[in-house]
Copies of this chain bind each other. A is one copy, B any other.
Amino acid sequence: MTTAIERRTRLLGPHMTTFYRDPVHVARGEGVWLWGTDGRQYLDCYNNVPHVGHCHPRVVDAICTQARTLNTHTRYVHDMILDYGEALIAKFGHDLTSMLMVCSGSEANDVALRMAQAATGKIGIIGTDNTYHGNTTAVSQLNSSKVPVGGYQTHVRQVPSPDTMVPVGGSREGQAEAFAKGVEQAVAELEESGHGVSALIVCPYFANEGFPTLETGFLDRVIDVVRKAGGLIIADEVQPGFGRIGSHWWGHDKLGFSPDIVTLGKPMANGHPVAAVVTRHEILTSFQEAFKYFNTFGGNPVSAAAAMAVLNVIDDENLADNARDVGAYAVELLSELATRHDVIANVRGSGLFFGAELWRDGKPATDLCAAMVDEMRERGVLLHSVGRYSQTLKVRPPCVFSHENADQLVQVMDDALGAVK
């Protein structure tokens, strides 16, 4: 019999990677739980896309009701996108009052870069050197994992990413200034090359860089540098947004700055393919004047209904508060665990986006971290790794994650650390 893995390889290609040495063949999901086709139950500590929990009934109902009524593009007038857009921008405390809906975070960032180029008349882009902003040709230029065919384009500059264990500039105290120096240098290079600076794009939680612990105001000097050069600030909120980090609805609020453009994606509709760019009215206008942009699926009534249900559930079920409380509790448990396991070099995070960085013999413990990911999967807990050396266990579950779920996670981590040593 042909196995599912063989079918995948043949159909989806040899490099369509799966998580875990023994991939999970999934069948069903509910809340923080996933079930395999063999009936086995897993605690999902990793999937941020089902933001309000796998198969949340209110989101499913919203999708079904609207799909039965009408699904069409936005060249007709329909109320759902307007109702949603107004509810969404009410979640921003500054002048981001306009919105463009697309299908994926990649499309959102692809648009955001062009918005910045249209609004500034320049094309240079600055990102960090250990990040990911999506999969289109344009935003792939910001990804550091693989050099694109034809090479990196000259208008893209990558600056050293902030880090907790190996801070830019050598110390945590001096990191903000050292990071700003990297941006200053990139600005100078872009100006010298004639590209100029259209934007700095960052995830304000530096999620893919390993979510280093950063002070409020960390980016203030950087933002000053970019704005003085005429550039805009794009906050990629695909991972930290929608209350996940607990203390604030958005990562940029936690760091204490006001971006010019915000991009949203994965958790926005609990897995339904929808994403958005939120910006100032005049930036959206500049973009629309420079590019003739239309997105067939973006903002259709079903996508907007799904996204609206997610917003409502986060509010009605107080999921941002839950993220804050359960996240703090879990970090406390992990900190206690660190006192008993030397390999845990650092515990950090905010809300339901936290983790434990593993080091051994003075070096990032990449292999141990990979072994832990597989060992925990064997023990029924799904998580993954992140960081420049994939040395950090990353926990980013649906936001209905409970204190009891945190207990299970840390208990299994304790056991697994004992087993893989």
Contact = CB atoms under 8 A, between A and B. Distances in A.
A281 B13 CA distance: 7
A284 to B, nearest CB: 4
A68 interface: yes
A54 B289 CA distance: 32
A98 B11 CA distance: 5
B290 A149 contact: yes
Interface in A282-308: 284-285, 287-300, 302-303
Nearest to A198: B149
Task: Name the interface size band of chain A.
Answer: 35 or more
Nearest to A279: B13
Task: Quickly give the copy total for this chain.
Answer: 2
Contacts of A148: 114, 290-291
Contacts of A5: 77
Contact of A18 (B54, B77, B89, B98): B77
Contact of A135 (B37, B117, B293): B293
Interface in A362-382: none
Residue with the highest number of chain B CB atoms closer than 10 Å, among A60, A74, A85, A302? A60
Contacts of A296: 49, 104-105, 265-266
A277 to B, nearest CB: 11
B98 A107 contact: no
Interface stretch (A21-29, A160-168, A320-328, A404-412): A21-29
A100 interface: yes
Interface in A1-47: 4-5, 7-8, 10-19, 23-29, 34, 37, 47
A273 to B, nearest CB: 4
